[in-house]
Structure 1
Amino acid sequence: MADMMSKISAGIERAFASRGFAEPSVEDLRDAAGVSLRTLYKYTPSRADMVLAALENRHQRYLLHVFDGLPDDTEEATDAILVRVGTWMATETSHGCLFHAAVAADPNSGPLRELLERHKAEVASRAAAATGVVEAEAELLVIIEGLTQAWPLRGDPAVDAAKRLGHALRVSFV
């Protein structure tokens, strides 16, 4: 059962990431998930559930991509996190944060807003722990979010700028 949910979540995440939240029809999402319409609705009974499942899948993948196997050295970890965010932007989406896009598409959805807040809080917490500046969660999140928003406009130079900001932050807090 968990394997089927993972398959569905991964497929619909790809569809939403490449086409946005408004464009893909339920049939498109079914095709992306590689399941029957009945199976899609069994695991995700509404379009809102489909969006949440896709974002939960993305949340887990993002955390693994950015934070798994970081260097023990906190300065190296800082650079690695920011480089990995840039790589994520280059390979997974070049349009900005999918979580923010989902909330923008349905601004009155409490569950979407809660998922966005949980995702960002976990990113900030993990970044602070990995970089050794636990008192700078908010600042680290601003740097990561800034990189996410600047990457579509600047690409790799945005990563370099974020790394400089990360180093300056470490100097001011360590």
Structure 2
Amino acid sequence: MDISEVRNRIVATADELYNAKGIQAVGMDELRSAAGVSLKKLYGEFPSKSSIVMAVLEHRHQSWTQGLDATVQQAGTPRERLLAIFDYLAGWFCQDSFRGCGFINSFAELGAISPDVAEYARKHKESFQEYVARLAGEAGAPKYLAPQLAILAEGAQTTAAIAGTSDAAGQARQAAEVLIDAALTSN
């Protein structure tokens, strides 16, 4: 097994454990055991728990970005691409492993004590807002639409996590349709 394979397994295992239990609840020994690596190998790949947390956040960012973009790119029109954001959320919310946004959860758990986690969570959210702004621009929508849609998506994530149902994605999609149509006709 090569180093990148070990590293990827550790990150994937940490992501699953952190998502299920929370970051602070998972110790290095539990992670080592679940990943099937020695403590020496674990620390050889990641010198600290915070370095694993940052690698998990990077992994989550890449997964989110790739998954979202793949769904959006399947949509036909610029309006449909904006709505596809909420279709992606609907699929995500139905997954058994869905526990809410990993960035919101990480920020809530560690943001006050880890400036790196807080900064990464902010950058992730900023990149999502920029993505929505690009899609809104391609649709010919006014600039105010993108932050409104981003807030809807963020609220849907939190609502779905707390309610334990995927209903929030459909409700947010319906609200997005109203906002998009109003913005496009007023423009």
The reply to whether TM is greater than 0.5 is yes
**Matched pairs, number:** 174
* Alignment match, 2:154: 145
Superposed displacement of residue 17, structure 1: 0.7
8 Å Cα contact 1:86-1:155 kept in structure 2: no
Q: Please say if 1:162 is aligned against 2:162.
A: no
Of 65-74 and 102-111, deviating more is: 65-74
1:27 counterpart letter in structure 2: D
Q: How does 1:34-113 map onto structure 2 within 5 Å?
A: 34-68=36-70, 69-91=73-95, 93-106=97-110, 107-113=112-118
Instruction: State the Cα deviation string for residues 59-78 of structure 1 (Å, max 9, x = none).
Output: 11111111123324122222
Distance of 2:46 and 2:142 partners within structure 1: 37
Distance of 2:85 and 2:64 partners within structure 1: 11
8 Å Cα contact 1:44-1:50 kept in structure 2: yes
8 Å Cα contact 1:30-1:36 kept in structure 2: yes
Distance of 1:89 and 1:38 partners within structure 2: 37
Distance of 1:17 and 1:108 partners within structure 2: 19
C-alpha RMSD of the superposition: 2.1
Q: Please say if 1:130 is aligned against 2:135.
A: yes
* Residue among 32, 35, 48 paired with 1:33: 35
* Alignment match, 1:13: 15
8 Å Cα contact 1:78-1:163 kept in structure 2: no
Distance of 1:53 and 1:154 partners within structure 2: 27
Q: Calculate the TM-score normalised by the size of structure 2.
A: 0.82
* Alignment match, 1:118: 123
Distance of 1:128 and 1:72 partners within structure 2: 18
Give unpaired runs (5+ residues) of structure 1.
none
Aligned to 1:45, what secondary structure does the other structure show?
A: coil
Distance of 1:32 and 1:166 partners within structure 2: 41
